[in-house]
């Protein structure tokens, strides 16, 4: 996106060069020739003014890449044990042990393996969260853990989860849960999944299957190993240096500390003191906390961090963009709010509602 010019922006948005230059003047930018490069922030501001949605493309071409942890989402049919499995996995984390089993609820947690490797789990199971994030362009999840109860077998939401993962091209690792139950029939689950077109490892495919029990804590280490193996095959890497790009997984308002956003860093390093725009909100990072609430100087790729210092409440799926100054942050935030309001009004203008007329 770097190297964008007014000329290029005119081509892409269909707006005239003159009108774009006028907008640049209005947002307080010096208007040079239409061939001169403009910054990505200014390009976004101008594009939003003419009603065009902007997605920032991040290229790490030429950057030094380092291995990073996989980010995992748990999906599956209701009552098949998603929440129980996440609870059990959370308890295997070193941080949880250090903190006496108490971790604050951040929307994500990290399991550190004895080998030094780690896995980041998103704490919101379910398809709604996954789809909402994806619809907003946030490709956060690297691997889906598909939880299937060994007694119940494949159910409608199991199939839904498979199609969500497939649509997003996210590989699946199957966890057949509740294997402690006398009525468990994991073999039947394998056959069902196979006939639904999931190429299971046992049947010559590449989808790993692990038998677990969330409540009896059986097979959790096997599941973690399977996830690391899957991650290894994917060769997940990220740029460590330079400005961070991150996604919000959860946001809430704390009465004392103000808006708090949990974000997962995709690339680069997030630093205290930086000015950021998060969706339509903006702020300056006052504190970064890790999953046990320790204040830390920075957030690195695949690390869930809690960000304090925002002026507004962002939404899950919003992207975190580091900008150069408070003025830039304010401006982009204002531009995005205006665009959101415009879109809302546009949608409303296409809507018709029925109102009973009581005067008759």
Interface positions with ligand GDP (CB under 6 A): 76, 78-84, 125, 177-178, 180-181, 213-215
Q: Which residue is nearest to Mg ion (CB)?
A: 83
CB of residue 201 to ligand GDP, shortest distance in Å: 21
Q: Which is nearer to ligand GDP, 2 or 79 (CB)?
A: 79
Q: Which is nearer to ligand GDP, 68 or 178 (CB)?
A: 178
| Mutual angle of helices 40-49 and 6-13, in 10-degree steps | 40
Residues engaged in binding Mg ion (CB under 5 A):
82-83
Q: Which does 327 bind (CB under 5 to 8 A by kind): Mg ion, ligand GDP, none?
A: none
Q: Which does 213 bind (CB under 5 to 8 A by kind): Mg ion, ligand GDP, none?
A: ligand GDP
Q: Which is nearer to Mg ion, 20 or 72 (CB)?
A: 72
Q: Which does 78 bind (CB under 5 to 8 A by kind): ligand GDP, Mg ion, none?
A: ligand GDP
Q: Which is nearer to ligand GDP, 14 or 182 (CB)?
A: 182
CB of residue 135 to ligand GDP, shortest distance in Å: 22
The two tokens of residue 74 are: 């748990």
- Which residues fall within 8 angstroms of residue 354, CB to CB, at 6 or more apart? none
Give how far Cα 221 sits from Cα of 112, 227, 345, Å. 11, 10, 51
Q: Of 300, 292, 285, 280, whose CA–CA distance to 342 is shortest?
A: 280
CB of residue 80 to Mg ion, shortest distance in Å: 9
Give how far Cα 88 sits from Cα of 53, 177, 226, 237, 297, Å. 41, 12, 16, 27, 29
Q: Which does 80 bind (CB under 5 to 8 A by kind): ligand GDP, Mg ion, none?
A: ligand GDP
Q: Which does 39 bind (CB under 5 to 8 A by kind): ligand GDP, Mg ion, none?
A: none
- Cβ-count burial of 19 within 10 angstroms (0-12 exposed, 13-18 middle, 19+ buried)? middle
CB of residue 160 to ligand GDP, shortest distance in Å: 13
| Mutual angle of helices 40-49 and 326-349, in 10-degree steps | 30
Residue carrying the six token digits 């057949």: 176
Q: Which is nearer to ligand GDP, 79 or 254 (CB)?
A: 79
Q: Which does 178 bind (CB under 5 to 8 A by kind): ligand GDP, Mg ion, none?
A: ligand GDP
CB of residue 125 to Mg ion, shortest distance in Å: 6
CB of residue 217 to Mg ion, shortest distance in Å: 18
CB of residue 82 to ligand GDP, shortest distance in Å: 3
Q: Which is nearer to ligand GDP, 77 or 336 (CB)?
A: 77
Q: Which is nearer to ligand GDP, 227 or 246 (CB)?
A: 227
Burial 210-240 (b: 16+ CB within 10 A, else e): bbbbbeeebbbeebbbbbbebbeeeebebbb
Q: Which does 180 bind (CB under 5 to 8 A by kind): Mg ion, ligand GDP, none?
A: ligand GDP
Torsion of CA 304, 310, 315, 316, to 10 degrees: 0
Counted residue by residue, the chain has a size of 360
**How far apart (Å, rounded) are the C-alpha atoms in residues 31 and 92?**
57
CB of residue 226 to ligand GDP, shortest distance in Å: 17
- Which residues fall within 8 angstroms of residue 160, CB to CB, at 6 or more apart? 127
């Amino acid at each position: 996106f770097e190297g964008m010019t007014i000329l290029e922006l005119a081509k892409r948005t269909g707006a005239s060069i003159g009108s774009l230059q006028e907008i640049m003047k209005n947002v307080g930018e010096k208007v040079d020739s239409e061939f001169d490069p403009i910054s990505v922030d200014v390009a976004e501001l101008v594009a939003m003014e003419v009603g065009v949605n902007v997605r920032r493309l991040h290229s790490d071409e030429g950057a030094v890449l380092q291995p990073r942890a996989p980010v995992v989402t748990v999906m599956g049919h209701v009552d098949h044990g998603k929440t129980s499995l996440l609870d059990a996995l959370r308890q295997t984390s070193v941080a949880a042990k250090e903190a006496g089993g108490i971790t604050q609820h951040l929307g994500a947690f990290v399991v550190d393996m004895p080998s030094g490797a780690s896995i980041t789990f998103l704490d919101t199971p379910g398809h709604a969260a996954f789809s909402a994030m994806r619809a907003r362009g946030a490709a956060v999840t690297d691997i889906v853990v598909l939880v299937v109860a060994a007694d119940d077998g494949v159910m409608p939401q199991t199939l839904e989860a498979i199609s969500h993962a497939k649509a997003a091209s996210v590989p699946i690792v199957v966890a057949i849960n509740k294997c402690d139950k006398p009525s468990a029939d994991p073999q039947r689950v394998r056959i069902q999944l196979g006939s639904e077109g999931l190429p299971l490892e046992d049947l010559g495919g590449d989808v790993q299957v692990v038998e677990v029990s969330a409540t009896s804590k059986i097979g959790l280490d096997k599941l973690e190993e399977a996830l690391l193996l899957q991650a290894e095959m994917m060769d997940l890497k990220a740029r460590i240096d330079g400005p961070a790009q991150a996604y919000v997984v959860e946001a809430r308002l704390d009465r004392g500390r103000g808006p708090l956003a949990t974000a997962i860093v995709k690339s680069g390093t997030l630093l205290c003191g930086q000015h950021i725009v998060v969706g339509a909100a903006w702020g300056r990072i006052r504190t970064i906390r890790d999953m046990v609430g320790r204040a830390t100087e920075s957030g690195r790729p695949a690390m869930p961090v809690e960000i304090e210092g925002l002026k507004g409440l962002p939404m899950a799926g919003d992207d975190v963009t580091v900008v150069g100054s408070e003025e830039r942050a304010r401006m982009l935030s204002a531009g995005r709010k205006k665009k959101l309001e415009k879109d809302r009004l546009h949608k409303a203008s296409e809507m018709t509602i029925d109102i009973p007329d009581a005067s008759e």
